[in-house]
Structure 1
Amino acid sequence: MEKYTETQRRILEVGKKEFLAKGFRDASLRGIVKDAGFTQGAFYGYYSDKAALFDALVSEAADSLTDQFKAAQEAHYDLIPEDKAAESRDLSKDYLNHFINYIYDNFDAFKLVICCSEGTRYAGYIHDLVEIEVVQTENYHARLRQLGKLKGTVSHELHHMITSAYFTAVFETVAHDMTREQAIDYVNELATFFNCGWDGLLRLE
């Protein structure tokens, strides 16, 4: 069974084009319906409003990345009992490369989320990922500190600012329409730069 009807595919296609051109807030539902060649009644047979259409275009990819990100955070805890916490930077880099490829496999969805989502529940997407990262990493650091494997400290405020800068920089790949190859090179250089700073602050043993 096909996932979408021909009518639904046409609405999604035109909706994506409208959102990419104008952003969610300025996109016109009337214009989307008109360009799709259907009545508003046909539209409402599939989506309750403009926000529901935007969700249909981005939610699967964006929510899946969030779930994968949470799972990656948990994977770091597996390093502790194996006395491999020093490998956490390499693990983070491996996941980063996985994530950037996933983003590029779903580029249009993430372009909508990063550049066109003001007014939707995805407007704070990067901030939400930052919050997850900070909470999980601080808990991870606390565990390492209890075991005597982490000597340095960093304030919550600085941790949040550094993480926010890092995540914003990663998603610049999408904002600036880098090619996949450019993006992979860029984020790996970025990770090296930020990891050197973290190593200097935290002094993992």
Structure 2
Amino acid sequence: MQKGEATKQYLLELAKEEFLSKGYSGASVRNIAKTAGLTTGAVFRYYPDKAALFDALVAEAADGLTNQFKAAQNAHFDLIPTNKVNESTDLSTDYLNHFINYIYDHFDAFKLVLCCSEGTRYAHYIHDLVELEVAQTKVYYDRLRQLGVPNRKVSRDVHHMITSAYFTAVFETVVHDMGREDAIEYVNEVAAFFNHGWNGLLRIT
């Protein structure tokens, strides 16, 4: 590894410790530079500002999960023309297990996003995922109704609150530093609870 690249990686490790300890708002590039034995200006030659340091630590993992989440939503729409809508719950659970393993493969990045991101573009990460889910799910069930598959309409406010509760519960695994195996067991129990609730609420027949 070349010296410049090694310095960049070293700075990222120090920045991660600073952000985890103080959060984004409380973190100081000056402290990171001092610990690295560099001037603040030298740090800015590698990363133009504090936001760039944070993004370098979390963007790939956080944006990657968002893109995978969008792909999972599309997969549910793929069930419609093949008359496999009844497999939707199993598909959701399969994706959930994939997501939780992905999150744990990038645990520190998601710890930063969930606990230390106030003041960054990731401050409302869970909310943004919830908004995606609510919007796409409405389209999904509207399409089912157009095809003659009965399901009860649920108000957007109710849908948003339930989805927010579900996503928050899943990400609590990271917030509370739960081990991977315990997290997998926990999210599957949470999913079973919410799936039964949705089926009862929507009255899918």
Q: Tell me the TM-score normalised to structure 2 length.
A: 0.97
Which runs of 5 or more residues in structure 2 are unaligned? none
SS in 2 for 1:82: coil
- Tell me if 1:173 matches 2:176: no
Deviations 1:56-87 (A, max 9, x none): 00000000000000010000011011111111
Which runs of 5 or more residues in structure 1 are unaligned? none
CA shift for structure 1 position 40: 1.6
What are the equivalent positions in structure 2 for 1:1-205 lying under 5 Å apart? Answer: 5-205=5-205
The one-letter amino acid paired with 2:67 is: D
CA contact 1:77–1:140 (8 Å) conserved in 2: yes
CA shift for structure 1 position 203: 2.1
SS in 1 for 2:150: coil
CA shift for structure 1 position 108: 0.2
CA contact 1:141–1:150 (8 Å) conserved in 2: no
Deviation larger for 101-110 or 147-156: 147-156
Deviations 1:107-152 (A, max 9, x none): 0000000000000000000000000000000000000111121332
Runs of 4+ in 1 over 2 A off after TM superposition: none
CA contact 1:24–1:117 (8 Å) conserved in 2: yes
Residue identity over aligned pairs, in percent, reads: 69
CA shift for structure 1 position 202: 1.0
CA contact 2:72–2:95 (8 Å) conserved in 1: yes
SS in 2 for 1:151: coil
Instruction: Count matched residues.
Output: 204
CA shift for structure 1 position 29: 1.1
Across the aligned residues of Structure 1 and Structure 2, the Cα RMSD in angstroms comes to 1.1
CA contact 1:151–1:202 (8 Å) conserved in 2: yes
CA shift for structure 1 position 41: 2.3
SS in 2 for 1:23: helix
